Structure 1
Amino acid sequence: MIRHRPASRRGATTVEFALVAPVFFLVLMAMFEFSRLNVLRHTADNAAYEAARAAIVPGATTADARAEGQRLLTVVGARGAQINFNPATITRDTQQVTVSVSIPLDRNGWVVPRFTRGKTLSSQSTLRTERVRTR
């Protein structure tokens, strides 16, 4: 009996890896990027809510509330975020406070921001103030 040796396949694995690797790494990087965007979205929601909570307490100022919102944004490393208040100054007669948080996505991506270029992630929270009622 004559045995035939199989044809050499030494380079097949390298060629297959060369074809599959770019697609695999593209999917992997997209997963990282969209996970980062999801973290930023949840953090923006939470920062807007917590800043509004800090602002509705009697005697609170927008500076105190802004510091609380910025603290939460700093935890995840959000760069260039803006926190705005409506009304800009909280008085005793203020009935509700609206806090808006905006995060520019081009400055906060981990991978090349191809799909988020020029986009801004925004979140808003409105709460009624805890006014002291006097009789």
Structure 2
Amino acid sequence: MISTRIRNRRKRHPRRGVVAVEFAFAATVLFLVIAISIEFSRMNMLRHSVDNAAYEAARAGIILRANVDDVKQTANEIMNSVRARGTVVEVTPDTIQDDTPEIVVTVSVPADQNGFVTPRFFAGRSFVGQCRLTRDDI
């Protein structure tokens, strides 16, 4: 009976801390993947927001008695809703009159100033959205 007890006991190996070391390696990779995913999601959101802001601003510019300030305000409101920094809005023509045939709105945002985690992946790049709408009431 004594011999069966000894045989059933587990042999202890000096492997203390192995799980902690494995977790440290795995957690580092996991957190890096999560950070990169957040960064790419933010840039994707900015890319689509720039296009949407240009379109909505151009729509605001094709109505009667619209002016350039209304167009820029519309684009900036949309870009502020996603907390974009460094937004530049350009409107062509410089003055909108009731007989202006078309409006061109260009919205650009630098990626360097808008990263959540690190701007390394998109350094030196910017997102540009442009929309050209014609007025059919002329």
TM-score, normalising length: structure 1: 0.91
**Match runs of 1:15-30 below 5 Å:** 15-30=21-36
Residue 21 of structure 1: CA displacement?
1.7
Distance, in Å, in 1 between the alignment partners of 2:115 and 2:82 is: 12
Give the aligned partner of residue 64 of structure 2.
Answer: 58
Is the CA contact (8 Å cut-off) linking 1:95 and 1:131 kept in structure 2? no
Aligned length: 132
> Structure 2 unaligned runs (5+)?
none
2:89 corresponds to which letter in structure 1? I
Contact 1:47 1:72 in 2 (8 A): yes
Q: CA deviation at 1:92?
A: 2.6
User: Superposition pairs for residues 96-115 of structure 1, below 5 Å?
Assistant: 96-115=102-121
Alpha-carbon RMSD across the aligned residues, in angstroms, is: 1.3
- Give 1:8 deviation, angstroms: 4.2
Q: Any idea what SS the aligned residue of 1:107 has?
A: helix
Task: Give the corresponding residue for 2:88.
Answer: 82
When the two structures are superposed, what TM-score results if normalisation uses the length of structure 2?
0.89
CA apart distance, 1:130: 4.3
Structure with the higher fraction of residues in helix conformation: 2
Query: Matches of 1:124 and 1:39 in 2, distance apart?
Result: 16
* Residue identity (%): 44
